[in-house]
Structure 1
Amino acid sequence: MKKIEGKGILSLLFFCICFCGCEKEGLQEKTRQLYIQLSMPESIHVETKGTGDTKPVLGGVEVQNVWIVQFKVNDDDNKSTGSCLKALYVPQSGISKSTDENQDGLIVNLKTGGDTDISKFTADNSLFYVIANGSRAMLTNEGSDDVMYSLTVNELAEITESKLKAKTVLIGTSEKPFVTTSPKLLTSEPFYYTPTNEGVIKVRAQMFRAFAKIKVNITSVSPGLFTLDETSGSASVKIYNLPKNMATYRAGGTNEKTYPATDDVVKGAFNMTVDQITTPNQTVSREFYMAENLRGLGKSATQQGKNQNENGPGSESDKLAGCTYIELTGTYKYDPSHTDGVKVKYTFYLGGNFTNDYNIARDYSYDITFRIAGPNSADVRVEITDGNVAIFDEVDVIKNIIVDF
């Protein structure tokens, strides 16, 4: 499946950042204002906020807090030492909408001043990470959610790059590890800062959503009628094998091809309610969000084979263990007027293609359409889009694939 890149990148612009440090090479320390601008192009999936809405919103995500973390970099090879120089928590009160029409987005205002100013960053060769909506408790139990806080020397000693990347955030609940409204966790790629005599830098850092979006569309094709089974009086779709937590960074900052461990994937089933189909050619849709689930590549060359255990990506006896899939169960009537119908079940394993890819990637949108045409066949179409694309066009769509379940 084709991955669409680059039309309007979700980005966080570190705009005119001024870092204050001690005296360096005879230069006196200067007091300046440090602020970052978070920006993102309008997306077709983002509702326009009313003019009366004063909450800071970035790409449809309300920004409640920001962590800015600085690591020391060796001067010789420009590689991180793993030593954390600074980690600053900024609450929502320090984040506001930009009033400059040329600087669309959000501003994080950090005033720099005297020797005790907690918002100062050291003017050293550095590697920066930015995490939006990670919560204060992600890195400290001190302070309060509505007050700016800088980690102490002892707390900084406990923070390394690997530990930061491995941080996770619960998605949904332990009993239901998915949500139907967008999560809020956004993270930047690491980026370098090299001090200059100017005291001002401009850096663009690409941001990523730490979750995947799945949209399920179900159509009953005329002349027959497919209706979904109901749970507690509501039509529902079953979802299986969902990770418990969102990782702050891809695969927890590792190079592993499989993530998370199967022990951290909950089997289910998890019921997602949808509207019931009542007439032929009717389409019902529902979206949900889940954590990334990287299971790897299997061996199948066909859609039918993707559901078979021997073709899965795993190495154990259950080769499909941990792989996310959707199950539709219901009744198919050859004619809507018929009293009885045929009980049917359709299963589809999610991933990057129809045959052997079982990976659900963070910051990607998966649009899945089931067109139920009979008790033994369905036309399944999938669009997979880079979540950073502002306008979802030119998507590579696989069409007219008739699948026998």
Structure 2
Amino acid sequence: MRNKFILYGLLNLLFIFIFSSCTDERLTDFSSETSSGQEMTIYLHTKEATFVESRNGDETEVLDNVVVYALDADGQVLKNIYQQLDNRNYVTMYIPEGASSLFAICNYDNPDELLQKKNLDEIKELKITIENYEEAYKGCYVMSSIDAVAIEGTTLNIPVYRVAAHFDVKINFAPESEEEQTFDITSVMLYNIPNVTWVVRHGEDKENNTLPLSANSNDAMYSNGSLSSEAFLSNQTVDFIRETDGTSEADDIDYTLSFDMFENRRGGVDRDNYPWPSSYQDNKQLYKAEIAKGEQFEYATYLKITGVYKVGNGLVREVSYKIYLGENNFSDYNVYRNYKYDYTITIKSGTSDGIDTRVEAENLTSMKVYASLDEPLDAHFNAVRAMVYSPGNWEMYVKNPDATPWLEISTSELYIPNKLDNTGQNVNAAQYKLEGSGGITYVYIHTDEYVPEQTSPQQNDLQQVRSGIICYKNNTGAIQELEVKQYPAQLVILDYYDALTVKHVKDTFFVERILEEKNIEWGFKEYWSLTMDNLITTGQWDGLSNTRKLFETALHGDGFEGDTNDPGLDLPGLEDPAYPGVSSMPTNVAVGYAIAKNRDRNGNGRIDYDEIVWYMPAMKELKAIYEHLERKEVDFEATTEKFASSTPSAAGPNAANPGRFYYIKMATGDISLAMRNRSYNVLCCRRKGAWQGNADAGGSGGVTIPDGEYEDEDFIMPKTETSN
């Protein structure tokens, strides 16, 4: 064991030298030196988001990086600096003679673009564009000053404002009738979401009580004096969380959702003098959707909540509710930047009765299945929830299952292998056919992983999908179909000469293409263990080994003595678990998110060590993915954003900071270090031809390890060219 620790020490020293060239972005100064001036400490603070509560009933303030401009009296840039902020909110800058004010922009994706700006007018013409609503928040908000701050003394506070608004929405079901009723949401959509905004606010601001009630013509969506439809995203699907079974008490919250968006200031009507019809004087909110039909509010943002409303054992309707966003629920259609909106939406009825203009309803008289299957699923294991409504008995089955053995259905979101034992078949197990009685039932569509047989990245077909059909019918006999499509994994080759093993390394793995979640915290904050310390040097290549070791460290620490789940690893150290008292890896941290993409093959209700085949890539693997992306051999979402690796960096015992990890800027391929409390994207991978489970997911569901490989798990070096 002593020799082992000596070896670890030597490796650490060697790798400190090798990787000293990795970027840890601290301070970049692109301005010329000046002969006179003063040094100033500049403190940045996020301006508190104005809080709007729509019914009488802490947002992230991360500063990741900053560009600070020193301006003269005419707004010309005399000097600028770019600095990565490591858990601090200040920078030190040398202020040149003639500078009279400072201006700051934080968390911008491309700081090089900012550093090219010559004056304040150019800075204020900067825009941010996005391709989907989720990009309004990328782990931290872009923030900027509103006005330049005059220079006084040797320290200065600069307030910065978020360019986006944040919404927290709670939906509760509280029917007015005492008759038994249920409501099940099938989708939530966002309409009229801007895809562009100014980095620096334009126009008047409500904070100064100067914003006119009419629509704001300074929004970035205007082109030649009028709103452009191309400045808005197509309808966006918003994920929601089901908190109850839909039959809760009136005060309970049944569903929650949250989202961020750019400002959309479409104005409003005079809340005191608008001529509401007499029947709406006491319930003005019921008329808001009718007002929105006016041309002025054509592009006002609204939520559309759709679901199935059931009354007793009789009437069943598909109902949609339009909720226009704004400061209140009856007269305002403005969404402001740097605002936090807290909405409580109460659903009381499944019909408009010709009064509530926000409600659209249609009676359901036949079987209907609601499932989000418009786009192909990713290459890893999937479980897609579908809501089935039928007025009578129904049947659902996989069409031609022999041709699509990868496609199954069940009543359990957790995959339960379909196997026979002495207790008989589990009714919740994955299978090819289900039957049910009338009413609402939740069914889960399971897909196996799609890892094609190929040997070269040039064989990756970026347009290819496989598809299967799920049929459903009720007692009327009419058969309807759902098509399930799935992307294949994409092959990547990591090819380089390893100075440590003095061997040519050729490692092959597959990569996914869809980010089901974005901006996930790396985790393990302020946590140190000898295992993680070793991964700083030994964890540069093999993300599968990293992921499994982080999994064990999270649940068990470095020591396993007496643990029934001990995988038999000889890991050094005795540090306690990073996440004590849990039986599975938390999914709100990066490695837990990756582990959740695996399948519980043995049916014990959790992902075990040997069942981890989809993993979080190591630093060198991310670099290889970038190189294949540059050659257009792979494709995936958010290719211009930051992606976290499973390779940790330093975090000492009782650390004063959260610790660090390696990440890549996928737009440029640059490798950098970030604090572990930062939230970046996670792209998951699968090793080619190693640690593969039983294809039929039956029997014991065990996972085998190829003979002659990975025998010593103290640390795993890359495989040689001949062993792959």
Change in CA separation of 1:331 and 1:366 when aligned onto 2, cut-off 3 Å: same
Matched-pair contact (CA < 8 Å) for 1:40–1:59: no
| Residues in 2 aligned to 1:41 and 1:357: alpha-carbon distance in whole angstroms | 23
Select which of 274, 277, 292 maps to 2:240.
274
| Residues in 2 aligned to 1:42 and 1:363: alpha-carbon distance in whole angstroms | 8
1:237 has 2:188 as partner = yes
Q: TM-score normalised to the size of structure 1? A: 0.60
| Residues in 2 aligned to 1:82 and 1:135: alpha-carbon distance in whole angstroms | 24
Match of 1:36 in 2: 42
Matched-pair contact (CA < 8 Å) for 1:212–1:290: yes
Matched-pair contact (CA < 8 Å) for 2:189–2:304: yes
Gaps of 5+ in 2: 1-32, 52-57, 206-210, 277-283, 360-724
State the Cα distance separating 1:321 from its structure 2 match. 2.1
Matched-pair contact (CA < 8 Å) for 1:165–1:248: yes
| Residues in 1 aligned to 2:263 and 2:47: alpha-carbon distance in whole angstroms | 24
| Residues in 1 aligned to 2:302 and 2:158: alpha-carbon distance in whole angstroms | 34
| Residues in 2 aligned to 1:249 and 1:41: alpha-carbon distance in whole angstroms | 14
The CA RMSD over aligned residues, in Å, is: 3.6
Matched-pair contact (CA < 8 Å) for 2:309–2:317: yes
Matched-pair contact (CA < 8 Å) for 1:162–1:253: no
Residue 121 of structure 2 aligns to which amino acid in structure 1? Answer: S
Match of 1:12 in 2: none
| Residues in 1 aligned to 2:304 and 2:59: alpha-carbon distance in whole angstroms | 31
State the Cα distance separating 1:296 from its structure 2 match. 1.6
Select which of 349, 368, 385 maps to 2:324.
349
The farther-off stretch of 291-300 and 180-189 is: 180-189
Change in CA separation of 1:249 and 1:268 when aligned onto 2, cut-off 3 Å: same
Matched-pair contact (CA < 8 Å) for 2:194–2:232: yes
1:325 has 2:275 as partner = no
Matched-pair contact (CA < 8 Å) for 2:42–2:155: no
Select which of 212, 223, 229 maps to 2:165.
212
Match of 1:129 in 2: 103
Higher RCO (CA < 8 A, seq sep 6+): 1
Select which of 244, 247, 256 maps to 2:198.
247
State the Cα distance separating 1:377 from its structure 2 match. 6.2
Change in CA separation of 1:138 and 1:327 when aligned onto 2, cut-off 3 Å: farther
| Residues in 1 aligned to 2:108 and 2:47: alpha-carbon distance in whole angstroms | 22
Match of 1:201 in 2: 154
Paired residue secondary structure (1:308): helix
State the Cα distance separating 1:185 from its structure 2 match. 0.8
1:64 has 2:64 as partner = yes
The farther-off stretch of 175-184 and 345-354 is: 175-184
Matched-pair contact (CA < 8 Å) for 1:332–1:342: yes
Residue 188 of structure 2 aligns to which amino acid in structure 1? Answer: V
| Residues in 1 aligned to 2:304 and 2:266: alpha-carbon distance in whole angstroms | 19
Change in CA separation of 1:41 and 1:125 when aligned onto 2, cut-off 3 Å: closer
State the Cα distance separating 1:372 from its structure 2 match. 1.2
What CA deviation, in whole Å up to 9, does each residue of 1:133-174 have, x standing for no partner? 12344635xxxxxxxxxx5xxx45xx332331231223xx41
Residue 305 of structure 1 aligns to which amino acid in structure 2? Answer: Y
State the Cα distance separating 1:363 from its structure 2 match. 0.8
Change in CA separation of 1:275 and 1:64 when aligned onto 2, cut-off 3 Å: closer
Match of 2:596 in 1: none
Paired residue secondary structure (1:69): strand
Match of 1:16 in 2: none
Residue 228 of structure 1 aligns to which amino acid in structure 2? Answer: I
Question: Which residues of 2 match residues 25-104 of structure 1 at below 5 A?
Answer: 32=39, 34-39=40-45, 60-73=60-73, 81-90=74-83, 92=84, 95-97=85-87
Change in CA separation of 1:310 and 1:108 when aligned onto 2, cut-off 3 Å: closer
Change in CA separation of 1:359 and 1:138 when aligned onto 2, cut-off 3 Å: farther
Paired residue secondary structure (1:366): strand
State the Cα distance separating 1:226 from its structure 2 match. 1.0
| Residues in 2 aligned to 1:42 and 1:358: alpha-carbon distance in whole angstroms | 22
Paired residue secondary structure (2:334): coil
State the Cα distance separating 1:343 from its structure 2 match. 1.8
Matched-pair contact (CA < 8 Å) for 1:35–1:108: yes
Question: Which residues of 2 match residues 236-385 of structure 1 at below 5 A?
Answer: 236-251=187-202, 257-258=216-217, 259=219, 260-261=221-222, 262-263=227-228, 264-276=230-242, 278-281=245-248, 282-298=253-269, 301=276, 302-308=284-290, 312=294, 318-335=295-312, 338=313, 341-376=316-351
Paired residue secondary structure (2:247): coil
State the Cα distance separating 1:270 from its structure 2 match. 0.9
Match of 2:678 in 1: none
| Residues in 2 aligned to 1:241 and 1:305: alpha-carbon distance in whole angstroms | 19
State the Cα distance separating 1:370 from its structure 2 match. 1.5
Identity of aligned residues (%): 21
State the Cα distance separating 1:404 from its structure 2 match. 6.2
| Residues in 2 aligned to 1:39 and 1:67: alpha-carbon distance in whole angstroms | 14
Change in CA separation of 1:132 and 1:327 when aligned onto 2, cut-off 3 Å: same
Question: Which residues of 2 match residues 382-393 of structure 1 at below 5 A?
Answer: none
Match of 1:107 in 2: 90
- Moved segments of 4+, more than 6 Å: 252-256
Matched-pair contact (CA < 8 Å) for 2:69–2:80: yes
Residue 60 of structure 2 aligns to which amino acid in structure 1? Answer: G
Change in CA separation of 1:322 and 1:68 when aligned onto 2, cut-off 3 Å: same
Change in CA separation of 1:216 and 1:67 when aligned onto 2, cut-off 3 Å: same
| Residues in 2 aligned to 1:308 and 1:89: alpha-carbon distance in whole angstroms | 49
State the Cα distance separating 1:208 from its structure 2 match. 1.2
| Residues in 1 aligned to 2:247 and 2:138: alpha-carbon distance in whole angstroms | 29
Residue 172 of structure 2 aligns to which amino acid in structure 1? Answer: T
Select which of 177, 183, 186 maps to 1:226.
183
Paired residue secondary structure (1:352): coil
State the Cα distance separating 1:215 from its structure 2 match. 1.4
What CA deviation, in whole Å up to 9, does each residue of 1:311-370 have, x standing for no partner? 64xxxxx332221001111111123xx375122111111112223321100111111122
| Residues in 1 aligned to 2:241 and 2:134: alpha-carbon distance in whole angstroms | 21
Q: TM-score normalised to the size of structure 2? A: 0.35
Match of 2:146 in 1: 189
Matched-pair contact (CA < 8 Å) for 2:288–2:357: no
The farther-off stretch of 219-228 and 320-329 is: 219-228
Number of paired residues? 283
Matched-pair contact (CA < 8 Å) for 1:177–1:242: no
Residue 354 of structure 1 aligns to which amino acid in structure 2? Answer: N
Change in CA separation of 1:365 and 1:269 when aligned onto 2, cut-off 3 Å: same
What CA deviation, in whole Å up to 9, does each residue of 1:210-241 have, x standing for no partner? 11001121112254211112xxxxxx311100
Paired residue secondary structure (2:287): helix
Match of 1:393 in 2: none
Change in CA separation of 1:266 and 1:163 when aligned onto 2, cut-off 3 Å: same
Specify which structure has the higher proportion of helix: 2
Change in CA separation of 1:194 and 1:319 when aligned onto 2, cut-off 3 Å: closer
What CA deviation, in whole Å up to 9, does each residue of 1:100-144 have, x standing for no partner? xxxxx533245xxxxxxxxx332325222111112344635xxxx
Match of 2:629 in 1: none
What CA deviation, in whole Å up to 9, does each residue of 1:17-42 have, x standing for no partner? xxx9545xxxxx67x5x432334699
Specify which structure has the higher proportion of strand: 1
